[in-house]
Amino acid sequence: MILVTGASGFVGRQLCRDLKHKGESVRAAVRSLSEINSLSGTEQVIIDNIGPNTTWHESLKGVDCVVHLAARVHVMKDNSDDPLAEFRELNVRATINLAEQAAAAGVKRFLYLSSIKVNGEETLDKQKFSADDDPAPVDPYAISKYEAELSLHKIAATSTMDVVIIRPPLVYGPGVKGNFNKMMRWLVKGVPLPFGMVNNSRSLVALDNLIDFIVVCMKHPSAPGEIFLVSDGEDMSTTVLLEKLAYMLGIPSRLIPVPIYILKFIAFLVGKKDLAQRLLGSLKIDIDKNRDLLGWTPPHSVDKGLKLTADDFYRTNIK
């Protein structure tokens, strides 16, 4: 039996569907009855509030593997008085609480979806982040994810439960929200975008590739105790990404060639420095460890992932 937390989320829904398709027994942890409809055919348990004091006893009965996806996610602008405390409540303390109960219940493997932001915010020149780099989390979200990783390693060291940590970059695919969805909306509206000269290089991961890697890490004998980075293995610039998305959507990209230094200056003036870093900066990931240790390479190409994403966007927003 596999327990998936955050099962009604972007990654969780697809993971549950894929596991069921593979014949696995899946128990999906959801927060309310309204979330159950999207997980038909999967056993569900309602956890009203995932926190440091949540009781998981019933949910963990018969469970061999926990895939912990539930988290307080990163937002571009956090208005909390103490963002780090808020992130620690769910991303650290609640994770520790679940992991300790899982270990006590005899769970064999605990897989934690962390974030590439634990490695840092950007890579420079020909640098690539690797799983063996010294962590360099900057913002409260990344710090909370790293603290959760450290706590999980400690729990694994004092129990019989294996821990596997995966740090993905931006995940895209059918149903994607956030800035990726906004980019497609800009393109469809025909908004001229000043990104025709962006020569950065960024690693992304398609939802199907991430799910495939999660499934491998759930069972592979060499995965326990390891930290993995995951991506499509094909880096590209923001300019190329927008051009590819426009092509998949069947529309012109309308990209204007504006020098990077001008874009950075404008972003600074309007208080969008973080967004500019994601659009203009580089973030490259080395996934050689995945191939060498697990024999894993991304089964789907970037073009396939973008086509599925664009087709879903077109069906749900244009037709």
User: Catalytic amino acids?
Assistant: 141
Contact 232, 305 (CB under 8 A): yes
Amino acid at 86: E
202 phi, psi to nearest 5 deg: -130, 145
CA proximity to 116, closest of 178, 179, 169: 169
User: With DSSP H G I counted as helix, E B as strand and the rest as coil, what are the percentages for the chain, rounded to 5?
Assistant: 45, 15, 45
In this structure, the number of other CB atoms found within 10 A of the CB of residue 62 comes to 12
In this structure, the number of other CB atoms found within 10 A of the CB of residue 199 comes to 11
Give the Cα separation of 255 and 262 in Å (integer).
Answer: 15
Give the Cα separation of 205 and 142 in Å (integer).
Answer: 18
Give, in order, the Cα–Cα distances in Å from 2 to each of 82, 101, 115, 176, 306: 34, 15, 22, 24, 29
